[in-house]
Structure 1
Amino acid sequence: MQDEPTATELIKAVADFLRNEITPVIKGHNAFKLRVGINALDLVTRQLALEQEGDAAEAARLKQLLGADGSLIELNRALSEKIAKGEVDLQTPGLAKHLWQTTMDKLAVDQPNYASYKREVENK
Structure 2
Amino acid sequence: MQDEPGPTELTKAVADFLREDIAPLVPGQNAFKLRVAINMLDLVSRQLTLEAASDAAEGERLRRLLAMQGSLFELNRALADKIAKGEVNLQTPGLAEHLWATTMDKLAVDQPAYAAYRRELERSKAATITS
**TM norm. shorter chain > 0.5:** yes
- Deviation of 1:40 after TM superposition, in Å, equals 0.6
Cα distance between partner residues in 2 of 1:77 and 1:27: 46
Where does residue 102 of structure 2 map in the other structure?
Answer: 102
- Deviation of 1:28 after TM superposition, in Å, equals 1.1
What residue identity is the alignment partner of 1:43? Answer: L
C-alpha RMSD over aligned residues: 0.6
Where does residue 12 of structure 1 map in the other structure?
Answer: 12
Where does residue 42 of structure 1 map in the other structure?
Answer: 42
Where does residue 129 of structure 2 map in the other structure?
Answer: none
TM-score by length of 1: 0.98
Cα distance between partner residues in 1 of 2:100 and 2:83: 15
1:66-116 deviations in whole A, cap 9, x for unaligned? 000000000000000000111111111110000000000000001111111
Cα distance between partner residues in 2 of 1:31 and 1:66: 48
Cα distance between partner residues in 1 of 2:31 and 2:2: 33
Cα distance between partner residues in 1 of 2:82 and 2:33: 41
TM-score by length of 2: 0.93
Unmatched runs of 5 consecutive residues or more in structure 2: 125-131
Cα distance between partner residues in 2 of 1:75 and 1:52: 16
Aligned residues: 124
- Deviation of 1:29 after TM superposition, in Å, equals 1.1
Where does residue 3 of structure 2 map in the other structure?
Answer: 3
Give the % identical residues: 71
Q: SS in structure 1 opposite 2:112? A: coil
- Deviation of 1:32 after TM superposition, in Å, equals 0.6
Q: Mapping of 1:54-69 within 5 angstroms? A: 54-69=54-69
Where does residue 21 of structure 1 map in the other structure?
Answer: 21
